[in-house]
Amino acid sequence: MLDSLPSFARLVAELAKFPGIGNKTATRLAFFLLRQPKAQAEALAAAIHDLQNNTRFCSVCFHITEQDPCQICCDPGRDDALLCVVEEPQALLAIERSRSFKGRYHVLHGALSPLDGIGPAELGLDQLAERLNTEPPAEMIIATNPTVEGEATAFYLQRMAAKHG
Ligand code: ZN
Ligand 1 centroid – CA 57 distance (Å): 8
Distance 66 CA to ligand 1 centre (A): 10
Long-range contacts of 30-36 (CB under 8 A, 24+ apart): 34/8
113: how many CB neighbours lie within 10 A of its CB?
17
Q: Which residues of 23-36 are buried (b: 16+ CB within 10 A; e: fewer)?
A: eeebbebbeeeeee
E strands, the chain, are 56-57, 64-65, 79-86, 103-107, 139-143
Distance 113 CA to ligand 1 centre (A): 24
d(CA 49, CA 126): 31
- Give distance in angstroms: CA of 83 to centre of ligand 1: 12
0.75 exceeded by pTM: yes
CA of 91 to the centre of ligand 1 (A): 14
Does 69 sit behind a cis peptide bond, omega within 30 degrees of 0 on the bond before it?
A: yes
Grouped pLDDT means (10 residues each) for the chain, 165 residues: 86 95 96 95 95 94 96 96 96 95 95 89 90 91 94 93 82
Q: What distance in angstroms lies between residue 115's CA and the mean position of ligand 1's atoms?
A: 29
